[in-house]
Amino acid sequence: MRHVTGFSNSTKIRYIVNGFGMYGTVNDLFTKTATVSHGDALRRAINHLAYIRQVSPLRGDARPVGVGITHEGIQVQIDLMAN
């Protein structure tokens, strides 16, 4: 079962949380986070990226490969990695 519509669980990503960067997969965001609040911020960011990738063709925009958000004071950046 996919955690996020539009990405397989094995999609490789780079994520940065408050300046600390890591590499992993979409599945890691749901199973391997340091704290509950970091996990929540990461999951919000990947869902936001999935949403803007879905609506960008409708607006005539290029499909983004990354997103940065701040959620409850936690800064998160997620970028898709090429396979």
Predicted TM-score (pTM) above 0.75: yes
Q: Is the distance from CB of 78 to CB of 67 less than 8 angstroms?
A: yes
Does the pLDDT of residue 5 top 90, yes or no?
no
Residue-wise pLDDT tens digits, 10-66: 999 999 999 999 999 999 988 988 899 999 999 999 999 999 999 998 999 999 999
What is the CA 51 to chain-centroid distance, rounded?
A: 11
